Amino acid sequence: MTAVMIDLEGTELTDSERELLAHPAVGGVIFFSRNFENHQQLLELVRQTRAAARNPLILAVDHEGGRVQRFREGFSAIPAMAEIGRYADSERQAQHWAQELGWLMAAEVLALDIDISFAPVLDVNGISEVIGDRAFAQKAEQLTPIARAFIRGMHQAGMKATGKHFPGHGSVRADSHIEIPVDERSWEEILATDLPPFIELASCLDAVMPAHVIYPAVDDKPAGFSSYWLQDILRAQLQFNGIIFSDDLGMAGATVAGSMSERAHAALDAGCDMVLVCNDRAGAIEVINAIEPRLEQLKKNAARCYQQLSKPAGMTMNVLQNHPRWHGAQAVLTEMSNAKDKR
């Protein structure tokens, strides 16, 4: 596998997508709601996607829960992460709920032969509406133990965990999907407020996705294009040894790095192992062509990505839904719903 993760247009592969998947630069595919109708259709799309690819692929989805859950019909409705701490009666109950929801989310995604869900969100819930209830809590000391339990559940299911959005998107109002967020706070405030979950959980995470946010007190580049954030802080200071994914290069927050090809080179040069290009087919083709000359140097990273993130064989959905732990997780969903109703 190599360094570009692309998306697909619909519920079946097109001829042009088969051609793209056969390109040596493509190493991953991210699925969206538009790619899903039902279990059998998605399983067949996944099968065709893997079969068409030249390289082993990492298949991914944003399936966090709450408003960011790409697959609905036939999947458990995972609550927003903020509801865990909000409705639990104790820290112990919150951590139990988080662990079982992490397992449930991961087990259901794995049952469709998808390797990873880009989760958990480790942003604090500050003033960012795009983060909001996707975050576990408003303060790091509340967030971290619940997130740790969620990661533990994911790992128990066999899925690798991706912490996002390093070093924290929750304390800036602008949405990096449609704006260029600039977080004017001091390094000391970022260190005290947003970085603690990443610091404490770095050894538990298998991958990290940096934010398209500029923190001018630290660097003039967004974190995902900053070797200072990715190499000096994340790698050297936090001693993170996992995979670094860029956030989608098509987002407005990435435009400061230039054209699509310039964004890809900037992200890879800064330390990203794989770049995402979503909802922009022309942009994806531009990126694939742009990085082709550096494929040889990227091969080692590509092998490491696949080795660290590919999954073991999971249960089928039918087997999973007859598993005692799946039924236990459904009981947790009922507990949470009842607790919410009582409030």
Residue 214 DSSP code? B
Q: Which of 96, 155, 177, 219 is catalytic?
A: 177
Residue with tokens 């009981």: 331
Question: What whole-number distance in Å separates Cα of residue 133 and Cα of residue 11?
Answer: 29
Told to judge if 247 belongs to the known catalytic residues of this protein, a careful annotator would answer yes
Which pair of structure tokens corresponds to residue 30? 């991210």
Helical axes 140-157 vs 91-110, angle rounded to 10°:
40
Q: H or E element: which one contains 142?
A: helix 140-157
Query: Do 130 and 175 touch, CB atoms closer than 8 A?
Result: yes
Question: What whole-number distance in Å separates Cα of residue 220 and Cα of residue 226?
Answer: 8
Residue with tokens 């630069």: 25
Question: What whole-number distance in Å separates Cα of residue 339 and Cα of residue 61?
Answer: 29
Q: Which of 113, 115, 247, 248 is catalytic?
A: 247
Told to judge if 177 belongs to the known catalytic residues of this protein, a careful annotator would answer yes
Backbone angles phi, psi at 145, to 5 degrees: -65, -30
Return the active site residues.
177, 247
